[in-house]
């Protein structure tokens, strides 16, 4: 097997046994990036020189046996701050921004010995579902370069699927890890809100954003979650929960687990092949010993509207800081107000402007009660739907997306259709519960299909256990595109 095709767990084992050297692994990945990046375009920045210097530091440190990810090359979504390496959020307004500090998640990865391969492309400020809203260039799906990789973590998912990295970090506000993982045929985990520190994640919607891993296997997702999770005093929304080993229970199987299938997720508009693949996967879980029953999440129909009021409102507030004064791009203007206006007009792309305007409107005097407050009330109802369902079941299974990956340009002119791409993932963020997308089949056109598993708050252990059991019984996760 070519070294670049390894997953994290296999690479860790091979490096420790001396089956490959860290230098050979790193060089194999850079050769792979050189070979396929002209087609995929997953990276905004490739850190070749920094990675080589980092490898030298690691080899001279003698820390190898004590580090969980010693010399493991990973990619990081370009809205997560990396000290001394550009963090652009794929936006012209931050195209030359170099953070003076490290995010908590990358600091924890550094402590465990990882090597940064580069920063991956995304929809500008993580606002999008296709990575076509990048301020620089669109990323393409490795399975079909004429299709999108999903978004907003499309660069991370495409890089993993194309074997340009062993794994990557993404961020998920309304499905931005799980949806591209589904489109690219890889594993994407959104942890419970508060499980992973957001310190150093450039904020889109602070009550919804969560960092998580995109990997080639469930075991790799569990291993990375071990490293990046845990309480962080630098993040006021970080939950004071003990760290744990999420790989410990992976092999316990699903026998006796109660799995709920929400009737609201199998509705008109769901692609026939996606529905069949997910129902077949549910049948496999039942064959493995899970107890399957129907559940109801009655407020699901309000999730998209609720999300796009709350997320845009928070975006309007969070993006007010980009005014051309303290950092980032600055346009010229005759006076201060004109400078503000020109900076934001030139620096932000169309989708970011659209969401800022939507959020500002929802928060404005006379509309706050009708929109923002009402959306918060509906969010509570959605959260309560999950709480009632989890009184009866241990996990919930749904499609990750209503369709396989769509064509580049297909939905750019219709924002509502683009927003509906996340219809099955948004509720998970509104409720703050964990969710994972795992490959469960392919369409007749050879495009990956993902199944989503949803768990109780802070019960990633059960979520990963069930996902691993399904993965071990099927071969979907092992398929790779030909590039």
Give the residue numbers annotated as catalytic, written as ranges.
Answer: 77, 152, 176
The token pair at 454 is 């949803």
| Closest by CA position to 28, among listed 54, 2, 8, 46 | 2
């Amino acid at each position: 097997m070519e070294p670049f095709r390894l997953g994290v767990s296999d690479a860790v084992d091979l490096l420790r046994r001396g089956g490959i050297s860290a230098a050979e692994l790193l060089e194999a990945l850079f050769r792979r990036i050189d070979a396929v990046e002209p087609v995929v375009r997953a990276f905004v920045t490739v850190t070749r020189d920094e990675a080589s210097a980092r490898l030298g530091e690691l080899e001279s440190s003698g820390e190898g046996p004590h580090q969980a990810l010693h010399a493991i090359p990973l990619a990081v979504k370009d809205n997560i701050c990396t000290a001394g390496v550009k963090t652009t959020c794929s936006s012209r307004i931050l195209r030359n921004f170099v953070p003076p500090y490290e995010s908590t998640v990358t600091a924890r990865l550094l402590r465990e010995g990882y090597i940064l391969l580069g920063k991956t492309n995304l929809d500008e400020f993580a606002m999008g579902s296709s990575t076509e809203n990048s301020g620089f260039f669109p990323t393409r799906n490795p399975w079909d370069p004429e299709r999108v990789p999903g978004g907003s973590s499309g660069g991370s998912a495409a890089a993993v699927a194309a074997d340009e990295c062993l794994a990557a970090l993404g961020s998920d506000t309304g499905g931005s890890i799980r949806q591209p993982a589904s489109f690219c045929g890889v594993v994407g985990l959104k942890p419970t809100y508060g499980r992973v520190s957001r310190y150093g994640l450039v904020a889109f919607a602070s009550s919804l954003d969560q960092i998580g891993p995109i990997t080639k296997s469930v075991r790799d997702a569990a291993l990375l979650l071990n490293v990046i999770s845990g309480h962080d005093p630098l993040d006021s929304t970080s939950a004071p929960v003990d760290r744990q080993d999420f790989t410990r229970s992976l092999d316990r199987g699903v026998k006796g687990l109660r799995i709920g299938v929400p009737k609201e997720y199998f509705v008109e508009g769901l692609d026939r092949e996606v529905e069949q693949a997910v129902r077949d996967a549910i049948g496999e879980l039942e064959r493995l010993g899970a107890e399957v029953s129907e559940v109801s999440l009655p407020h699901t129909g309000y999730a998209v509207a609720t999300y796009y009021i709350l997320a845009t409102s928070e975006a309007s507030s969070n993006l007010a800081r980009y005014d051309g004064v303290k950092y980032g791009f600055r346009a010229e203007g005759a006076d201060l107000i004109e400078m503000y206006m020109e900076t934001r007009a030139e620096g932000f792309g169309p989708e970011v402007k659209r969401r800022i305007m939507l959020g500002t409107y929802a928060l404005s005097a006379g509309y706050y009660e009708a929109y923002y407050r009402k959306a918060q009330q509906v969010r509570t109802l959605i959260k309560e739907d999950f709480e009632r369902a989890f009184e009866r079941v241990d996990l919930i299974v749904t499609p990750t997306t209503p369709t396989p990956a769509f064509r580049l340009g297909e939905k750019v002119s219709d924002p509502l259709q683009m927003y509906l791409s996340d219809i099955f993932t948004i509720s998970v963020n509104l409720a703050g519960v964990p969710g994972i997308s795992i490959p469960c089949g392919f369409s007749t056109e050879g495009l990956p299909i993902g199944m989503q598993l949803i768990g109780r708050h802070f019960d990633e252990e059960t979520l990963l256990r069930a996902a691993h059991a399904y993965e071990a019984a099927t071969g979907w996760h092992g398929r790779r595109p030909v590039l």
